[in-house]
Chain A
Amino acid sequence: MSTTPPVWASESFWKKVAIWVTAGSFVILIILTFDTLSKTAVGGSRVQAYSVINKVIDYRFDYSQNRYRPVFGGDEPLFGRPLSEEEAAALVTQGKKTVQAKNCMNCHTLLGNGAYYAPDLTKAWLDPNWGSVEEREARMLAFLLDPEKNAVTFSSGRKMPKLGITDAEAHAIVAFLKWMSAIDTNGFPTNFKTIGRQED
């Protein structure tokens, strides 16, 4: 019996396979990364320009795609004042930085990532729990500024602590949440009943 193993069981064969498979997978990943980043740039069809916060945003079932999609309507400036692209970008940026600074992701999820102690914020802007479209902005601000007093815990006893969010930061968080609700998340979450749909 020969002592040399067959090619398929030899160390050198698997070494080459390991190198080629790793390199090949990585090259494909890099190509897909370029493609994905170009398709998800701000201002494209998947991730809207920051000025989308001047518009009505809703989330509806698209029968041709067989999944839920963000839909955009007429003007609905945030806090009653239309913002230029630059102003909107600055406001959303401050909102995202505040969301990070207040460590929101260690209770909430954003785009489904984060912790599960508090609700998902992906489409928070569209949640029917804000009561009505007319009350929404005021209630979001009030909640962020004093979450303990304005908590709606559905008798779960879970309360968001007061995180020292300033008035400017609260406005910015609302802008960030509105902008995030416009991202095309490939139908996630499915079957979501938006505040807009309730008022149809």
Chain B
Amino acid sequence: MRTGIIDSANLNGGQQLAVKYFSVAVVLFLAQMLFGLAAAIQFVRPDFLYNVLDFSVNRMVHINAMVVWMLYGFVGAVYWLLEEESGTRIVGLGLGNLAFWVLTAAVAVVVVVYLLVQTGPGNDLTRWFVNEGREYLEAPRWADLGIVAVLGVFFYNVAATFSKGRWSGIAGVLTLDLVALAGLYCAGMFYLTNITADQYWWWWVIHLWVEATWEVLVGCIMAWGLMHMLGVRRRIVETWLYIEVALMFGSGILGLGHHYFWIGTPDYWFSIGGFFSALEPIPLVAMVVHSVYDAGVHKFKNGNHPALAWIIAHTFGNFLGAGVWGFMHTLPQINLYTHGTQWTASHGHLAFFGAYATINIAFFYIAMQTWRGNIWLGGGLAGGGWKWKWALALLNLGVIGMTVALLIAGYEQSFIERAVEGSTWGGYFAAQQHPWFQQAMAWRLVFGVVTLAGVLLLVWDLLTIGVGEMRRAPQLAAEAG
């Protein structure tokens, strides 16, 4: 094993595939930042790129790049741990590689069409080949079919590899979760004129993915990460994973109801959605307890400080962003005023970053460590590890700053547009023109720049961390039991 330089011979087959996914994920992460920044500038200066890249285009690329880079990160993380967890070589590696290139080519084509074609006439061809025009599910139908096919290959690789090797608790939960992940995506793949029914199914993808299957998926990845980095006992990690699955699906599946308050659905969703979504933060508290306790019990002893720091950032970010920020506006009594305001954007920014970006970044560091020959990434890094520490600080500061700025904007919008002005267009613009709103959006832009600086530093650090490092990381076998 060669140390200090990037060498794919240090990786097993699944890991070689994983680093491809991670590389594209980082590129899309940068794209998410740039288009988000352009959209943020347009809130402050509406003439910016008007008629060239309008807000609708920037925002679409911003949110689609986010969804796709997170999926790339998750798929990569699962391929990363697959051979180690199953104890055998990956079954369909060639197929997995093919699926990777097909997916990446498809993503590139979709982005080019988004940027150059943008919109089409109001007919079926546009939905099949340009964009579907449904928030988050803009991918044209041909790309949808491709995504399901690629997820099918991914599922095959995971299930078949575990079947050939050994099944663990993590393997079982992961495999079942991937069935749900691919299956639920199909709920967003048909056209309905009845917008109430359309949005009913749309939320099956959006909510049941993000607030259920994705959460369970990162639970599996995190469980493996804790065993790998801290040597936490498998039985404890897997018991926690089952507790989290029970709480996550127990609250998240029917918590779907909090999106069914105002789209024309029956009003029993007020009580069901309100009750179960109020329970949704509980599993996220459990995750914080779990990670902090494990790290403490092992006296934070580990050979990869950046990864552990990002895993801790993940549990807090998940709890605060998804749990607390979500709960703040989830009950119908409040949601009647906050639904469809910047309040949602505030929640979205902290939740997606805290719950998903963080754990993917942790895995980027785990990957770099092994890729360079399982080198030491603990204390005493060159320069005191200033790059990863500043990247962590800038990214967290930037996202929390954007979240707070958008929350202030959301409060103001809920108050002036909704409560005082009764939601007319005049009320909408009264809120958008208010100095409190405009100042908040300026602050969001400032913190957006801070976030971008953090991402650039992160990329620089990922490319350079451990260059020439010869010390090896300690091998931590999971404790017996």
Contact = CB atoms under 8 A, between A and B. Distances in A.
Interface residues of B, number: 86
A23 to B, nearest CB: 9
A158 B246 CA distance: 46
B133 A100 contact: yes
B56 A106 contact: yes
Interface in B91-134: 118-124, 126-127, 130-134
17 contacts: A14-B246, A22-B246, A28-B253, A40-B200, A47-B194, A96-B195, A97-B123, A101-B120, A102-B119, A154-B432, A155-B433, A158-B46, A183-B196, A189-B423, A190-B418, A193-B422, A193-B424
Given A186-B270, A193-B424, A18 B262 contact: no
Contacts of B199: 111, 113
> In the complex, which range does the number of interface residues on chain A fall in?
35 or more
A120 B428 contact: yes
Contact of B425 (A39, A119, A180): A119
A57 interface: no
Contacts of B261: 186, 188
Given A18-B246, A188-B336, A106 B262 contact: no
A193 B422 CA distance: 6
Given A111-B199, A191-B422, A25 B253 contact: yes
Contacts of B425: 119, 124, 127, 129, 154
B59 interface: yes
A22 B119 contact: no
A133 interface: no
Interface string B334-351: 001101111011000000
A99 B56 contact: no
B242 A103 contact: no
A190 B339 CA distance: 11
Contact of B46 (A46, A157, A185): A157
Nearest to B413: A116
Interface in A13-46: 14-15, 17-18, 21-22, 25-26, 28-29, 32-33, 35-37, 39-42, 46
A17 B244 CA distance: 10
A29 B265 contact: no
A114 B423 CA distance: 16
B353 interface: no
Interface string B164-190: 000001000100000000000000000
Given A100-B132, A111-B195, 16 more contacts: A11-B239, A14-B243, A18-B242, A18-B246, A29-B253, A40-B266, A47-B264, A97-B126, A97-B127, A107-B59, A111-B263, A113-B202, A115-B59, A123-B423, A186-B262, A188-B339
B329 to A, nearest CB: 12
Contact of B264 (A114, A129, A185, A191): A185
Interface in A71-107: 89, 92-107
Contacts of B260: 36
Contacts of B269: 36
Contacts of A190: 336-337, 418, 422-423
B235 interface: yes
Contact of B138 (A22, A98, A103, A128): A103
Contacts of A113: 135, 199, 202, 263, 340
B426 interface: yes
Given A32-B272, A37-B197, A40-B196, A106 B264 contact: no
B84 interface: no
Given A94-B122, A106-B57, A115-B135, A192 B422 contact: yes
A61 to B, nearest CB: 11
Nearest to A198: B424
A28 B254 contact: yes
Give the residue among B124, B134, B254, B340 with the most A Cβ atoms within 10 A.
B340
B122 A98 contact: yes
B103 to A, nearest CB: 23
A132 interface: no
B130 A101 contact: yes
Interface in B231-262: 235, 238-239, 242-243, 245-246, 249-250, 253-254, 256, 260-262
Contacts of B422: 189-193
A99 B121 CA distance: 10
A123 B425 CA distance: 10
Contacts of A149: none
A112 B169 CA distance: 40
A17 to B, nearest CB: 5
Interface in B253-310: 253-254, 256, 260-270, 272
Interface in B23-72: 39, 42-43, 45-47, 50-51, 54-57, 59-60
B419 interface: yes
Nearest to B406: A116
A29 B269 CA distance: 11
